Amino acid sequence: MTFDYCVLTPETDEAFNDTVGRTFRYAEGYWETFRRRIGPENVRTVSCDGRVVGGLGIYRPGQWFGGREVPCAGVAAVGISPSDRGGGVAEFLMRSLLEELHAEGTPVATLFASTQRLYRKVGFEHAGSRYGYSLPMTAIGVRDEELSVTEVSLDSSKPFEAITVKRALATNGNLQRTPGLWERILQHADGHQAGYVIGDTENPEGYLINRYDVDHEGTGHLHIRDMAALTPAAGRRLWSFLAVHRSTIPWVHWYGPAVDPLLCLTAECKSEQTEVLRWMTRIVDVPQAFSSRGYPADVSGELHLDVHDDVLPANHGRFVLAVAEGRGTVVPGGRGDLRADVRGLAPLFSGFLPPQTLRAIGCLDGDAATLQIASRLLAGPEPWMPEIF
């Protein structure tokens, strides 16, 4: 069998729609929406002897690490025809994608995996999380109307963009959303969504985008598509605004980090974790990735890496990461003090797991002094993101 990896064309559009649509059971007409959001130039197909058997899409956001935006490939809708699975098609597709991304200089790729085995085989590893929460409205217990809440149109992401950047600067893993990713947040099939900014509309301190629905038992639910509070006053006003819905809606649901600081502001911490997802990242270009992210401004030093990568040969070998004044530079060579498979670099890079833990689970190896250097250089907040793509 001969596999071919190609950009989507008008001739392969229908076949890709059929193959991936059946894989993910897309609703009628969703393929057109997906293609528009991601851009047809960012869709890839894989063919076997001239027949389309699968493909994927590539969002092109930035992803924030250490206070800097790192160019990222957000891999979505990886699908293979059921009759063609198990024959190496998916691995060929992913290897071809990684080779393309490396050739164009993309530092990292991130995805939500339906199966971990495939992605680990080509160098992806856990790098962050997305936690689902539910909280009874009666547990909020916050009343603070110091700041205003103003409804805004969801036709544009403009009212929310500056806040998302400020949130991203203070954490790791958040996306610098493309227009298509913003549309996923702002638009919903049933149309019952609303957006609000908290504080001065010209310089807001927070926002929320929510959707109402009723379950099969007639119980109302408020689903937060995204929310942020940059100040204590904005956090209190956000909860106060949500609490006024308690007479008709008993539950509020949202997505956040594993330890959500907003829950420190409610009267009772009686939230339930309803979902735990981990996203996976692949270091596509070791020098580009580690020189693109940010570092603690008051830390300096060198980390000598010895990387094993059997998919992308350019990553295989020794590198020296030198950090000073919040920036990193990477050059070939060095002592190779920290030995890691490229998989093990992803949670180290994102800050998802400390180097000592990564050594304990076999993702990397080095002596205590080397691990301490890695801990200092790559220290930072928990990596997370509020959305799935």
- In single-letter form, the type of residue at position 104 comes to E
CB 175 within 8 A of CB 130: no
**In this predicted model, what pLDDT tens digit does every residue of 268-297 receive, in sequence order?**
999 999 999 999 999 999 999 999 999 999
CB 355 within 8 A of CB 347: no
Instruction: Return the number of other C-beta atoms located less than 10 Å from residue 90's C-beta.
Output: 23
Q: How far apart are CA 280 and CA 137, in angstroms?
A: 33
**pLDDT for res 9:** 95
Helices (H), the chain: 13-24, 30-38, 89-104, 116-121, 158-169, 179-186, 232-243, 286-292, 342-350, 355-360, 368-377
List the chain residues with pLDDT less than 50: none
Q: How far apart are CA 151 and CA 194, in angstroms?
A: 7
Tally the residues of the chain.
389
**pLDDT for res 192:** 81
**pLDDT for res 28:** 77
* List of residues 6+ apart from 28 with CB closer than 8 A: none
Nearest to 68 by CA among 389, 385, 388, 380: 380
Task: Give the mean pLDDT of the chain.
Answer: 96
- Report the Cα 270 to chain-centroid distance in Å: 27
**pLDDT for res 191:** 62
Helices (H), 257-379: 286-292, 342-350, 355-360, 368-377
Distances in Å between the alpha carbon of 216 and those of 105, 213, 221? Answer: 49, 10, 11
**pLDDT for res 149:** 98
- In single-letter form, the type of residue at position 186 comes to L
**pLDDT for res 31:** 86
